Amino acid sequence: MKTKKFFTDVQNFCAPKISTKIFVDSKLLIIAIISLMLFAIILFNLNLLAGIDEATNSFSQKIQIDFLVQIAKAISWLLEPINMVIVSIIISVFLLKRSKKDALLFSITMLLAGLLIYILKNIIERIRPENALIAESNFSFPSGHALASLVFFGFLAYFLLKRTKSKTKKFVITISAIIVIILIGFSRLYLNIHWLSDVLAGFLLGLFLLFLALFTRKNIS
């Protein structure tokens, strides 16, 4: 009887925690899958989105101001995908002492993001807008800045969120990361370097990589 009671107590103690863990893990994987599906929808419907892309491009050109153009150019230059990959590796070196798992996952995911950007651009070969304010030598789809920034700042936000219990701080961290990511994507549109669908696809693929990485983080020993 005592043995039976012991196992019952253990089951009752663990069941809520196990179910909560499975629920949280499932949400991460579901978000990753939905993001990948939406990315695929954009990819296979680029022609249908051409009207929206052209309208967005035309609107961006109408609201360009020299001062803001220079800021957007600075953002694009500082936050080149290759720069974010290099910084992520440097950060990962410092993270090794605290968490090898986080360090390896961060650097590997960023490297994978960089590889995906290169492969997809050269497979799809989408031409950039003709009125781009910065000359780019590579192709347009997806936006490397959008993809890399979402993974990079998403991971930084995750690391900071892990270190605080304050709901206010968590809110500020989350909103700040979202604003930075959106501003980076907007800067690419503002400079007419990308079509809107390029940026949205970059964000969605970035979400896929980020949440897949977090799902992996939760499930590796």
pTM: 0.85
Given 194, 197, 204, 210, which residue is catalytic?
A: 194
pLDDT bracket for residue 12 (50, 70, 90): very low
* pLDDT 10s digits, 93-141: 988 888 888 899 999 999 999 999 999 999 999 999 999 888 888 899 9
Answer yes or no: 145 catalytic: yes
Answer yes or no: 194 catalytic: yes
* pLDDT 10s digits, 61-70: 999 999 999 9
Amino acid 24: pLDDT: 54
> Is 21's pLDDT higher than 70?
no
List the chain domain ranges: 2-219
* pLDDT 10s digits, 193-221: 999 999 999 999 999 999 999 998 887 75
Given 121, 128, 145, 217, which residue is catalytic?
A: 145
Query: DSSP letters along the chain, please?
Result: -HHHHHHHHHHHHHHHHHHHHHHHHHHHHHHHHHHHHHHHHHHTTTTTTHHHHHHHHHHHHHT--HHHHHHHHHHHHHT-HHHHHHHHHHHHHHHTTT-HHHHHHHHHHHHHHHHHHHHHHHHH-PPPPTT-SS--SS--SS-HHHHHHHHHHHHHHHHHHHT---HHHHHHHHHHHHHHHHHHHHHHHHTT-S-HHHHHHHHHHHHHHHHHHHHHHHH--
